[in-house]
Structures are given as structure tokens and as C-alpha cells.
Structure 1
């Protein structure tokens, strides 16, 4: 294998290793995205598009060269078959055709994996961005939920305070009514006691008058008897 095809084969093996690293669950999308956005890669990223186009152009050139070699040696093999060439020449032609086909597959897969790696990098970066946006939205939703709960709690406290104030006001009014009723009850007790004392005094006065009336009646009876005896 010549030097250039050895380099392309090594590049192909490197691409296979990179694809495996990107596909296997070795690191999360965030870590890959942070790696892609590192300072070293940011410096390279400024001209990455240009380098990528150059790489694609080189791989396309090698692919076209391998196709040309395949067509060339396949035509020679067909001519040797029809002309019944020497066995050594036929084997050399078959070997060269095999190398051309090998080079075709190496350059073709290298070109294909280059496009795959670029697409994987873009998808991983987009996934990391979407995950960051999703987490930001979740945090925003959680903060909004917390704010709504606190607002509802404050409204509940205000309503509770209003109900407590109304209850306290009602209690104060009931206490005032109770004090008023107690005062009225005290007044009624005083009036009752006064009426009772007045009734007692009237009963005593009635007993006294009745006793005096009895005494006067006795005196009148005695005086009338004395007068009758005379």
C-alpha cells in the first residue's frame, strides 16, 4: 500500500474510532458540547468549514482516482481473458484491480464517515442545546409554580386574616351585648330587690295597722260595754 493510501486508511480507522466514541454512551451530550466549544476547538472552528471542504475534496479526488483505476484494470482483465494472456500478467492485473477496489472502499467509507461525523457533531450540539433549554424551562415552570403557590398562600392568609378580623369583630359585639345584658340584669335585680323591700315594708305596715285596728276595736268594744252597764 502506498503512503497516501496508508494515510487514508489510518484516517478511516480514526473516523471509525470517533464515530464509536460519539455513538456509545461514554459521555453525555452536554460534555460533548462543552468539549466541542472548548477554546482549542473554538480556534479551529473558525476555519473548520474550510478545512472540512478541503478534506472532502481530497477524499473525492482519491475516490475518483480509485474508480478510474478500477475501470482501467477491469478493462485490462477483460482484454486478458479474451486474449488468453500469460498467467503472471493476468494475476498482476487481478492484484491491481483488487488494490483499486480496496482503495475505492477505503476512500468511499472515509468520505461517508466524514459526513456522518459532521452530522453527529451537529446533532449532539443541538441535543445539548435542547436539554439546556428544557432544564431552563423546567426551572422557570418550577419558579412560576412556587410563585403561584406563595401567591395563593398569601391570598389564603389575607382571607384568613379577614375572617379572623370578622370573627374578632363579632366576638367584640357579642361581648358588648353580654355586658349590656348583664347591666340590664343587674338593674332588674336592683328593681326586684327594691320591690321586695317595698313589699316587705307594706306587709309590716299592714300588720301594724291591723294590730292598731284590733286594739282600737277592743277599746271600742270595752267602752261600749261600760256604757251599757251604766
Structure 2
């Protein structure tokens, strides 16, 4: 095997190892994302598209060369009646090498596309996982805030209910005191009316006694005057 095809075969084996590492559950997408964003790979990512195009172009050239060799040796004429065995073996060996080179370059080209696609998918999955984790944190924070607000509202409502109960209790006590005061006021009014009636009765008795005293005084005066008139006669 020539040097260039040895290098392509080594590159193919390296691609197979990379695909196995990316496919097997060795590391999580987040760790792969951290590796992809390392300083070394970030320094290469600026020119990664150029390197990838050059690699694909090189592999395509080797693939075309292998196809050319396959077509060249497949058109060899073996119509001779007694072909040389050594020549036939050499042509078969060259055909085998052309087919081997074709498969090596073809699989190397195919795995290059597969690795690129796997890296894109792993990066996308890691981004989605990070977004999902951030969304879950926001949802948990919103849930915690809602629960705290609900608990504060419940505490406020309970405090308001307690204050309302205390206010209702005070109002009921005040109503009770007002009723008691109304009863006492009614009793006082009744006592006052009774005293007014007693006062009026005493006043009427005093008036009648004064009239009777005046009448008796007049009669006494008349009797005294009549007795004095009889003595003078």
C-alpha cells in the first residue's frame, strides 16, 4: 500500500473510533459540548469549514482515482487462448487494490459527513438540554413565588378574618352595652315620670291645703269680728 492510501486508511480508522466515541454513551451531550467549546477546538472552528471542504475535496479526488483504476483494470481483455498466469495475477491484484482503495476512500468520505452531522446533533441536544434546565429553574422559581404569594394571601385573609371576628365581637359587646343603657334610660325615664306625678300630687295637695287654710282663716276672721261686734253691743 502506498503512503497516501496508508494515510487515508489511518484516517478511516480514526474516523471509526471517533464515531464509536460519539455514538456510545460514554459522555453526556453537555460534556461533549464543553469539549467542542474548548480553546483548542474554538481556535480551529474559525477555519473548520475550510478544512472540511479541503478534506472532502481530497477524499473525492482519491475516490475518483480509485474509480478510474477500477474501470481501467475491469476493461482488460482476456480473450487470449493462453494468457500468461503471472500477468493475470498482476491484473487481479491491481483490480483488488483499486477496489480496496475505492472502499477506503468511500467510507472515509461517508464517515466525514457522519461525524460532522453527529457533532451538530450533539451540540443541538446540549443546547436544548440547557434551555430545558433553564426553563425548569424558571418554572420552579415561579412556582415558589406563587406559593409564597398564596401563603401570604392566606395569612392576610386569616388575619383579616381574625380582625373581622374581633370587630364583630366588639360590635356585639357595644350593642349589648347600648341595650343595657337603653334599659337603664327607660327605667330612669319611668322614675322621672313617677317623681313628676308625685310632685304634682304633692303640689295639688299643697294647693288644696292652702285654699283650706285660707278658707279657715277667713272663717276665723269672720267669727272673731262677729264676736267683737256682740261684745260692743
Same fold (TM over 0.5): yes
Of 142, 146, 155, the match for 1:157: 155
Q: Which residue of 2 aligns with 1:72?
A: 72
- Give 1:128's aligned residue: 126
Measured against aligned partners, the alpha-carbon deviations of 1:107-159 in whole angstroms (never above 9, x if no partner) come to 00000000000000000000000000111111111111122222222222222
How far did 1:164 drift?
1.3
Shift of 1:179: 4.6
Query: 2:87 and 2:56 mapped to 1: Cα distance?
Result: 35
Determine the C-alpha separation between the residues in 2 that align with 1:88 and 1:182.
137
**CA distance in 2 between partners of 1:176 and 1:25 (Å):** 78
Aligned-partner Cα distance in 1 for 2:155–2:80? 104
Aligned residues: 187
Per the alignment, residue 10 of structure 1 pairs with 10
C-alpha offsets along residues 56-102 of structure 1, whole Å, 9 cap, x if unaligned? 000000000000000111112xx02x224211100100000000000
2: CA distance between counterparts of 1:113 and 1:159?
A: 67
CA distance in structure 2 between the aligned counterparts of 1:47 and 1:170, rounded to whole angstroms: 80
SS in 1 for 2:112: helix
Once residues 96 and 75 of structure 2 are traced to their aligned partners in structure 1, the CA distance between those partners, rounded to angstroms, is 13
Identify which range, 134-143 or 168-177, moves more after superposition: 168-177
Name the CA distance, whole Å, in 1 between partners of 2:80 and 2:149: 95
Unaligned runs of 5+ in 1: 195-230
d(CA) in 1 for partners of 2:172 and 2:49? 86
Q: Where does 1:82-101 land on structure 2 (aligned, <5 Å)?
A: 82-84=79-81, 85-101=83-99
- Cα distance in 2 for residues equivalent to 1:96 and 1:159: 93
Q: Which stretches in structure 2 are left out of the alignment for 5+ residues?
A: 192-233
SS in 2 for 1:122: helix
1:25 aligns with 2:25: yes
In 1: Cα distance, 2:80 partner to 2:33 partner: 61
Deviations 1:15-48 (Å, cap 9, x if unpaired)? 0000000000000000000100111100000101
**Length-normalised TM-score, structure 1:** 0.76
Distance (Å, rounded) in 2 between the aligned partners of 1:73 and 1:123: 41
TM-score by length of 2: 0.75
Partners of 2:134 and 2:18 lie apart in 1 by 30
SS at match of 1:70: helix
Match of 1:57 in 2: 57
- Deviation of 1:5 after TM superposition, in Å, equals 0.4
